[in-house]
Amino acid sequence: MADETPFTYKVLADDNLLYGPVDLPTLCEWVRQGLVVRESWIYRVEADNWHRAYDVPEVQTAAAPGTTEAAGAFGVPDHITPGMLRRIRILGTMTDDQIRELATAMHYREIKQFVPVVKMDMPGNSMFLILGGEARVRRFLNGREKILATLVTGDFFGELAMLDHSPRSAEVITNVDSALLELDGGALKLIAERSPWTAVPFLNAIIRTMARRIRTDNDRWKGVLGYLEVLEVDLSNFFGSLFKAARQNVEPENAYLAVTDEGVAYGPVDLATLKSWVQEGRVGAHNWIYSVAADSWRKAGQIAELLDAVQTATGAERVEVFSGVSTEDLWRMKVLGAMTAEQLERVGGILGLRRAKPLEVIVKQDAPGNSMFLILEGEVRVRQMIKGTEKTLTVLPAGEFFGELSLFDHSPRSADVVAIKACTLIEITGESLKKLEEAAPDVTAAFLLAVGKTMARRIRMDNHRWGKLIEYLQGVGVDVSQLFH
C-alpha cells in the first residue's frame, strides 16, 4: 500500500479493560493464543479508529486457534497485470496505478472444482472477484439445489458481507477450477484511508451494481404485487404488518459503552445515564462511545444525542457549516457520522439544503432524478402506487437517506417519498458529488463506504420482505411455487 506507517494497537477485552498499546507482532501472538478472537474490538492508536478483529487485515495473517493455516499474504502474483485484472467489470474504469494499489489489499485464491467458496448463513466480511473460472450461487429448498445465478470471469460476489459483516445469504460453489481475488472489509477501509483516490472509483462501481440490483428487485416486487391484485389476493393485512414493523424500526434500542481516560469501558447503559456521565465530566467529548444498536464507535462529541450535554459541559459553541447547519447537525446523519469536524466543514460548501412541508411529495415515482437526500429533521414515508393503490414500503426517520439509486445510476425514481412531518433535507446531486470527489477524495471514500453499508442493509431488508410475503401467501393458500417461476 502507499503508506506503510506502523500501527500500535489496543484491545478491548471481555473484562471491559483496554489492553495495550502493543505492536503488530504482539497483537498477532494474542490472536494465536486465543486472547483476541474474531469479534474482539481493536483500537488503532495512530489512526484513531476502531475495528473488529476480523476487519483488521494486519492480523489476518496470524493463524487463529483451531485453524491449520493463516490467510496468506496480501497482493496478487507478479504475472497478473492490471490489464488482466481489468477483465473484472468493476475495475474497468480504474487506472493501472489504482488497480495496482487495490491489488495490494487482495488475497489471490486458486479454488478447485466443486469446492464451496462461501456457505449460507456463515459469518463473512469479504467479497470475491472472479479472475478466471465459473461458479454458481445456490440455495437448498426442501433438500433440492436451487441455482440462483451462474457467475463467470469478470463477475463478483459477497459484497454485502464485506460491507455489513452479516452472514452469507447463499452458498457459492465453483463449477470449474477457478482463480479468485478476495477483498475483505478491513483492507478496503485501509485503502479508503490511505489511498482514497483508489477506493472512490471502486466503491462507485460496487454501489452502481447494487443500485441495479435494487431496481431489478423493485420491478419484480411491483410485478408480483400487480399479479396478486389480478388474483384478488387481499394484501391489506400484509402491508399493515409491514408498515407497523417499519414504524417500530424508527427508534432503535439505545445502549452504550463508554471508554474513559483510564482505559476502562463502562456499561452498557442507557442514553440518560450516558448523558449524566457527560454532564458530570466522567466522559468527555474526546472519549470513545460504543453504540450497541449501531455496532459502531464514535467520540462523544460526535454523537447527536449527546451534543447538548457536551456543549453544556465544555462551553463549546455551535459551529455552522452552511445555511444554519452545524457540524453537530451533520453528525446526526448516519452516512456522515464518522467524519471529523474538519471533513464536514469541507463538505458544507458543496451540499444544498431543502425543506418540505407535511404531506409534500419530495420525489415522485418514475420521475427523472440525479440526487439523494439526507434527512436532517423530520420523517418520510416511502411508497409505491400499484394499480392506483398506495403501498407503504418503509418509514425513514431523521439520520437516514433516500434517493441514492437515482444519484448513482441516473434512472427514474423507483418510489414516491412523502414527508410525514416537516422536513429539513440535505440534497447531494451528481454534480456536487463530483465536486466533492475532486476536492476531498478522503471524505468521498468515507461517504461511499457508509452509503454502501446502508444499501447492503436495505438489500437484506428487501430479502426479508420477500420472505415475509411468501409466509403470508402460504398462510392464505396461494401457491407460491407457481408465482415465482
For residues 210 and 143, the answer to whether their CB atoms sit within 8 Å is no
Write the single-letter amino acid at 185: G
Instruction: Return the residue matching grid coordinates 417519498.
Output: 417
CATH class of 82-194: mainly beta
Q: How many Å apart are CA 268 and CA 446, to the nearest integer?
A: 28
Tell me what percent of the residues of the chain surpass a pLDDT of 70. 89
For residues 380 and 402, the answer to whether their CB atoms sit within 8 Å is yes
Average confidence (pLDDT) over 103-108: 90
CATH class of 256-293+295-319: alpha beta
Q: Give tens-digit pLDDT for 359-374.
A: 999 999 999 999 999 9
Q: Give tens-digit pLDDT for 117-128.
A: 999 988 888 999
How many Cβ atoms are within 10 Å of 283's Cβ, its own excluded? 26
pLDDT at 3 over 70: no
What was the pLDDT predicted at 177? 97
What was the pLDDT predicted at 323? 58
What are the grid coordinates assigned to 481, written together? 411455487
pTM of the predicted structure, to 2 decimals: 0.76
Identify the architecture of domain 212-249+334-485 in CATH: Sandwich (2.60)
What was the pLDDT predicted at 247? 53
- Band of residue 232 on the pLDDT scale cut at 50, 70, 90: confident
For strands 416-419 and 379-386, give the pairing.
antiparallel
Average confidence (pLDDT) over 14-33: 86
- Band of residue 74 on the pLDDT scale cut at 50, 70, 90: low
Q: How many Å apart are CA 160 and CA 126, to the nearest integer?
A: 8
